[in-house]
A and B are shown apart, each in its own frame.
Chain A
Amino acid sequence: DTAVSQTPKYLVTQMGNDKSIKCEQNLGHDTMYWYKQDSKKFLKIMFSYNNKELIINETVPNRFSPKSPDKAHLNLHINSLELGDSAVYFCASSQMFQGRSEQYFGPGTRLTVT
């Protein structure tokens, strides 16, 4: 029944490693997003992606890359992890309808880089 799901919920890894976080939505939405929430709870958009375009927040390091195998999935791949990448990462999805685009968030993945 979960609308937007993420795996894993927790991820602990060492600096320099490469890791991926998976996201799936069963809402039939055409746009998916990745957000980063830092230790002060500030939420910041990283990427938005639909079948037409990928929009990248210019502040996101190119070590981060979204990969979409199909419309229902948007995975986040991170290369050469750094201590500052420790945060909670949220996936979200939305669908434009009558001028409205309600975004629904997943439960988050807490990434800890040691």
Chain B
Amino acid sequence: QQQVKQSPQSLIVQKGGISIINCAYENTAFDYFPWYQQFPGKGPALLIAIRPDVSEKKEGRFTISFNKSAKQFSLHIMDSQPGDSATYFCAASMTLTGGGADGLTFGKGTHLIIQP
């Protein structure tokens, strides 16, 4: 059972355009939703994250939109640049009863290509 579903699997956007990646989750115990960016041969790097008590978070060109009732969240990349070409992963985790953080449950990833 895949707890975090991500779409699309691949995405091509023109330079300067808006890239949009969507995720949906099933477990209502999730309380932390990060996005990671991964370049070939590198580890995933934290891009931006949101908690369910806010509906939107913006950091530079990156924005997360969160819809708690629909159990969906999305990443918007404004003014997309060729350097943004990478694989993007949404993820979710929950706070454990002892106060620690559970491991991340990842979506399957989106391969984003920004064409010059």
Contact = CB atoms under 8 A, between A and B. Distances in A.
Interface of A: 4, 30-31, 33, 35, 40-48, 50, 52-53, 55, 57, 90, 94, 96, 99-108
Per CB-CB distance, the 7 closest pairs between chain A and chain B, nearest first, are A45-B103, A101-B101, A105-B43, A43-B106, A48-B103, A105-B44, A107-B43
Given A100-B49, A107-B43, A108-B43, A42 B109 contact: yes
Given A94-B101, A105-B44, 12 more contacts: A30-B100, A31-B100, A33-B103, A35-B104, A41-B109, A42-B109, A48-B100, A52-B98, A99-B51, A101-B100, A102-B46, A105-B43
Interface of B: 32, 34, 36, 38, 41-46, 49, 51, 87, 89, 93, 95-96, 98-106, 108-109
Given A43-B89, A99-B51, A90 B100 contact: no
Contact of A100 (B32, B44, B99, B108): B32
A113 B73 CA distance: 37
A100 B99 CA distance: 11
A35 B46 contact: no
Contacts of B42: 107-108
